[in-house]
Structure formats: structure tokens, C-alpha cells
Amino acid sequence: MKIRSKFLDLFHLNEKYFLLTAREASILFEFFKALDIRDEMAIDDVQFLAFMKSITDLSRKQIYNVFDMLDIDGSGVLDFDEFYLLACILLAVKDNKEKQFIHRHSRTVFELLDEDGSNNISAEEFETVGFLFNFDKGTIRGLFNEFDVSGDQELNYQEFKMFAMACIDKQNEVDRKRKEKEEKKRAKAAALDAEENPRASSSCVIL
Ligand SMILES: [Ca+2]
Ligand SMILES: [Ca+2]
Ligand SMILES: [Ca+2]
């Protein structure tokens, strides 16, 4: 899932808790009230579709899946608590921190993914909304092979928790590789620069 939103750029999840600060939450609440054009302290699926279409690249079907997942109490609308959770997930994805988010909020994410409340996540359940955390089908199948220790084709909370812990190692590795790549690029650019402007670079060294 890709996110393009100037509004969300104003927010960042707290590094420690992966939630919004109180101030940011109150700004988000104002925004929620603006979306809630009928003044019902809730947004329905049509309002949600328009909002998600404007800031993500998800399809209509995917957006409705997300709506059903977030409507935890099954009321047919999203209240602010449910919307707040979505905002935190969107922010985690925007900042490439979705794996940390899963790790930090493994119980919440587990309950979100376990759509039928069976205390187990099936591959189908994971696939229904996995795109929200940037998991594609292949990755999800691999993940079940690796973490379904009991072999019942489902992840219980213990198994999911192991996955969530591994998730963070994976994210750290991805972050490390990205940093290495950036540093290499920078070094290469500096070397090229030095080649093109030998005088400038030698004066740099003197300075
Ligand atoms: Ca609801
Ligand atoms: Ca389930
Ligand atoms: Ca299992």
C-alpha cells in the first residue's frame, strides 16, 4: 500500500509506544469530525471509501475489507477509536515502520486479523487485509510455513507473537541494508565529485 497525504505528514508515531501524542490525537479528532459530515461521531463505509481513495492506492474491495476489519464492534460505522487505530497503521506504513508497529501492538494486530474471532489467524484472514501492512500473498504463505509450529495451517497468538518478534529483526535488516546502500551512493557521488573537481576537493581536505 502506498500513501500520499500532506495531512498525514503532520503526524509521526511516538518511537516508544507507536501511538500519537495527546496533541496529535486531538488534531486527528478534529479531522475526524470534519469527515463526519452528518455529525454522528462516526463515519460510514462510503465516507471511508472516499477518504481512503484520496490517500492510498488501495482498490475499492480492499478498502471495504479494511473497513470491515476496523469496525471491531460490528456497528456498521467507524467511531473515533476505530479510526484512530487506522490512522496509527497508516502512519506506521508512511514512515516504513509497519513491522515495528506489528511488534509493538502484536495483540491488537492479532485481534484485527482474526476476523471470525476464533483466536487463530488463517492464511485467508491474513490475506484479506495483509496488504495494509505490505504483506503480499507469497510472503504470507512463507510466513505460515515458518511460524505455524503446530501445523494446523493457522497461527495462534503464540505463533503470531514469534512472527511479530521476527518481523522486527527483518525490518532492522531492511533498514540496515537501505542505510548501507545510501552510504555507498553518497561515497560514490563524493568520489565522482572529487574526480571532476580535484582542486575543490583538495581544498576541502586542507580546510
Ligand atoms: Ca464500529
Ligand atoms: Ca480466525
Ligand atoms: Ca498453528
Considering every ligand atom, which ligand is closest to the CA of 125?
2
Here the CATH number for the domain that contains residue 203 is 1.10.238.10
Domain with 54 in it: 1-95
Last residue of a domain, one of 80, 95, 110: 95
Q: For residue 71, report the phi and psi dihedrals to the nearest 5 degrees.
A: -75, 75
Cβ neighbourhood burial of 78 (10 Å; 0-12, 13-18, 19+): buried
Q: For position 197, what pLDDT does the model report?
A: 78
- In the reported structure, the alpha carbon of residue 74 is separated from the centroid of ligand 1 by a whole-number distance in angstroms of 5
Ligand closest to Cα of 120 equals 2
Of 95, 117, 142, the one marking the end of a domain is 95
State which residues have CB under 5 angstroms from ligand 2, the bound ion: 114, 116, 118, 120
pLDDT in tens, 3-57: 988 888 889 898 888 899 999 999 999 999 999 999 999 999 999 999 999 999 9
Q: Which ligand is nearest to the CA of 143?
A: 3
Same domain as 83, residue 136: no
Whether 185 has a pLDDT exceeding 90, the answer reads yes
How far is the centre of ligand 3, averaged over its atoms, from the C-alpha of 75 (Å)?
30
162-184: pLDDT as tens digits:
999 887 777 777 778 888 999 99
Give pLDDT tens digits for 62-118: 999 999 999 989 999 999 999 999 999 999 999 888 888 999 999 999 999 999 999
- The string of pLDDT tens digits covering residues 46-58 is 999 999 999 999 9
Ligand nearest to the CA of 163: 3
Give the model's pLDDT for residue 205: 53
Number of domains in the chain: 2
